Amino acid sequence: MSNETRSPSYPQMSLGKALDLAAKLYKGIHRASVGNSEAQQIMGYAPKSGSALAALSALKRYGLLEGRDPHIKLTELALQILEPADARERADGIAQAATKPEMFAEVLESFGGKMPADSAIRAKLVRDHAFTSAGANAFIRSFKETFSFAEREASAFRAADDFVDSADDDPEDAYPSTPTSAPRQSIAQTAAATPGVGPISASQMQHLPGPGMQQAVFPLVEGPVYLNFPNELTSDGYAELAEYLEIFLRRAARTRRLEEGKHDEG
């Protein structure tokens, strides 16, 4: 009899990767119900393989998939994220999905909604839940990648919302000459204070600006664009930055036209 122990269940992939698989399912079956094997094939896995089973389990733990073989389908939460009415709805859906896994929600709650150090997470997992060392490392990787992804999505929505509000009030204020916004409350703090919403930490956001810097995020269809710039940027600095961005955009547009011309000739 083997003495090997198994770590408690949790999504063995990040939410971002799970949503990529959900998007493949949505493209393949839309809202229809299918069996496990067909779903696994659509997602690019060999049916009934270990990785295929882990993928289905992850989607279910994030609340993106429901039902049992042979009638599984994407959930309303998955559709909210994949076909959102606006950026807010997508960000809200991702925040919900990130805290669906019970172990993720428990770890965040244990540390007051803040992203703890790896050593603190590992100690909790090993002591309180009998995780193996390898299982704890895998959990930490999936956990941190998930909340980094969720925070990036939320930051993209906040930046777009602020930009639209500024432009509506006064077009000149869309690019203020001096930083005037107070430090934002992190999603973790906001969600922790909101009944029924799990906390999400901003501390692991991979695109966070460094000390003395601030960030603007522009959510394009192809993906978010991040712009980091100094807090102490002067009016002359803003003007120079605008010139650089104008040059960049002109070059990008010209490159795009050249690529399209080559495609048409081919």
State which of 139-143, 151-155, 224-228 shows the largest mean pLDDT: 139-143
Least confident span in 92-96, 140-144, 147-151, 178-182: 178-182
* H-helix or E-strand spanning residue 232: none
| Mean local confidence (pLDDT), 217-241 | 73
Q: 236, 247, 246: which is closest to 178 by C-alpha?
A: 236
Mean pLDDT of the chain: 77
Q: Is 177 helix (H, G, I), strand (E, B) or coil?
A: coil
| Predicted local distance difference test score (pLDDT) of residue 159 | 54
pTM for the model: 0.61
| Predicted local distance difference test score (pLDDT) of residue 179 | 38
Q: Is 64 helix (H, G, I), strand (E, B) or coil?
A: coil
| Predicted local distance difference test score (pLDDT) of residue 100 | 93
Torsion of CA 95, 101, 106, 107, to 10 degrees: -80
CA–CA dist 166, 34 (Å, integer): 46
Q: Provide the pLDDT confidence category of residue 251 given band limits of 50, 70 and 90.
A: confident
Q: Is 199 exposed, middle or buried (0-12, 13-18, 19+ CB in 10 A)?
A: buried
pLDDT tens per residue, range 19-54: 999 999 999 999 999 999 999 999 999 998 999 999
User: Percentage of the chain with pLDDT > 90?
Assistant: 42
pLDDT tens per residue, range 102-122: 999 999 899 888 888 999 999
| Predicted local distance difference test score (pLDDT) of residue 180 | 36
Q: Provide the pLDDT confidence category of residue 203 given band limits of 50, 70 and 90.
A: very low
- Reading the block at residue 162, the tokens are 């602020």
CA–CA dist 262, 256 (Å, integer): 10
Q: Which CA distances in Å does 36 have to 57, 62, 66?
A: 11, 17, 11
Alpha-helical segments (H) within 170-234? 187-192
pLDDT tens per residue, range 162-190: 544 544 454 444 443 333 343 444 444 44
The larger pLDDT score, comparing residue 209 to residue 223, is at 223
Q: Provide the pLDDT confidence category of residue 256 given band limits of 50, 70 and 90.
A: confident
Has residue 75 got a pLDDT over 50? yes
Measured from the Cβ of residue 143, the count of other Cβ atoms closer than 10 Å reads: 25
The larger pLDDT score, comparing residue 178 to residue 246, is at 246
| Predicted local distance difference test score (pLDDT) of residue 241 | 78
The larger pLDDT score, comparing residue 30 to residue 248, is at 30
Torsion of CA 128, 199, 185, 91, to 10 degrees: 150
| Mean local confidence (pLDDT), 217-236 | 73
Q: 173, 151, 147: which is closest to 162 by C-alpha?
A: 173
DSSP state of 202: S
| Predicted local distance difference test score (pLDDT) of residue 157 | 62
